[in-house]
Amino acid sequence: MKSLHTVKSSAGQKARDNGKSEAAAEKPSRTDAEKAVRTLLQWAGDDPDREGLLGTPDRVVRAFDEWFAGYSVDPVDLLKRTFEEIEGYDEMIVLRDVRFESHCEHHIAPIIGKVHIAYLPDRRVIGISKLARLVEVYAKRLQIQEKMTAQIANTLNDVLLPKGVAVVIEGQHQCMTTRGIHKPGVTMVTSRMLGAFREDQATRREFLSIIGNPTSTPAGD
């Protein structure tokens, strides 16, 4: 059986490798980024030198700093502090309705929704704020909802080694609302069940009941 240190190291390396594969080999400068925004403004048909757009390249780049801050955070390091003094508590821990804002990797259009997370502890728990921050780390990257669902669940499972993990995400994709098929009000639901949540129907039903039992739908960007 792998030691906890080995599992953590493996999970950390996996997260770092994933980040490297998603990022450019050599990051462009801020000046390069602002020039790219100017080019897009010209391509759209406007004049980047007119008064209303003079500060837009800088504002867009600063917005990107915020929207994609998750690339600079190691999700495994984020979860490294755990608590073992739990007096034998072994029931389900659920954090529901964690709002998130992300961007789809196909159109860089917003994805807005909420995440529900549950786990069955095995001797260790983690602060609930860390669960919300884990959502933020993965949401603040270019995403597809299916991948984000798996990343949150897998990272929590690899680091905490609980008896089970469950993640459900409900997201509204603006690439469907503001372009393409133009269908507002559509919600995509994805889930990832591990351990007891996959193997035990009663445990899964309890979790789904707590979060309001959203129905999974096969949809995509």
Which residues have a catalytic role annotated? 104-107, 145, 173, 175
| Spatial CA neighbour of 148 closest among 70, 63, 52 | 70
Please tell me the chain's helix, strand, coil percentages from 3-state DSSP, rounded to the nearest 5.
Answer: 45, 20, 35
Query: What residues contact 186, with CB distance under 8 A and at least 6 apart?
Result: 172, 173, 176, 177, 219
Q: What gap in Å lies between CA 170 and CA 187, rounded to an integer? A: 6
Burial of 88 (0-12, 13-18, 19+ CB in 10 A): exposed
192 forms bridges with which residues in the sheet?
Answer: 167
